[in-house]
Amino acid sequence: MDIEETIRRRKSVRRYLSRPIEKEKIVKLIEAARLAPSASNRQEWRFVVVRDRSKIEQLAVASCNQSFIREASLVIVACAQTDSYVMRCGQLCYPIDVAIACEHIVLEAVELGLGSCWIGAFYEEEVKKILNIPSEIRVVELLALGYPHPEETPPEKKRLSLDQIAFGESWHKPLNLT
């Protein structure tokens, strides 16, 4: 499969089979994140891989009671061990770098026949308590992963057209690549 097909096949999956993810696949997921770029090669990302059913249940509760999380075979809790470095452009680097690493994970998941869903609705302090994450570590994102249920058919999302999102040389000037 080529990268374009992988990107097109990636959808938010919210129904999973009750089938554990093999250890080799978990290693591949984390390895994909490890290879992600980061600002000044800071590599601030850290990951807690949660397979314990009772902890996944607690994470579902801490994630605004999103029931589909309970079906996931595992939840990867994406964190940042950060000094809150601000890039020259004025942006904190750790949220961006963790997001890049998470996207590497979800694209690798597609390659491995897995489904995933980004979870941004959660209570950070509750997640930290459940997983004994130190106070100085930031919890940035949760990823639910598992084998998609055969009846899972996420709807196609309407996407803006290229001319609505990409400009040439200045803002709102049409992109002309000829």
In the predicted structure, residue 1 carries a pLDDT above the cut 70:
no
Structure tokens belonging to residue 20: 């554990």
Instruction: Enumerate residues 6+ apart whose C-beta is below 8 A from 134.
Output: 128
Q: Is residue 23 in some structural domain?
A: yes
Residue range 118-174, pLDDT digits in tens: 999 999 999 999 999 999 999 999 999 999 999 888 778 899 999 999 999 999 999
pLDDT computed for residue 24 by the predictor: 98
Q: Is residue 29 in some structural domain?
A: yes
Q: Is residue 155 in some structural domain?
A: no
Q: How many residues does the chain have?
A: 178
Residue type (1 letter), 38: S
Domain with residue 133: its CATH number is 3.40.109.10
- Determine what percent of the chain is predicted with pLDDT higher than 70: 99
Tell me how many domains the chain contains. 1
Q: Is residue 169 in some structural domain?
A: no
Between CA 116 and CA 156 the distance in angstroms is 16
Structure tokens belonging to residue 98: 């963790």
pTM for this predicted structure: 0.94
Cβ atoms of 119 and 12 closer than 8 Å: no
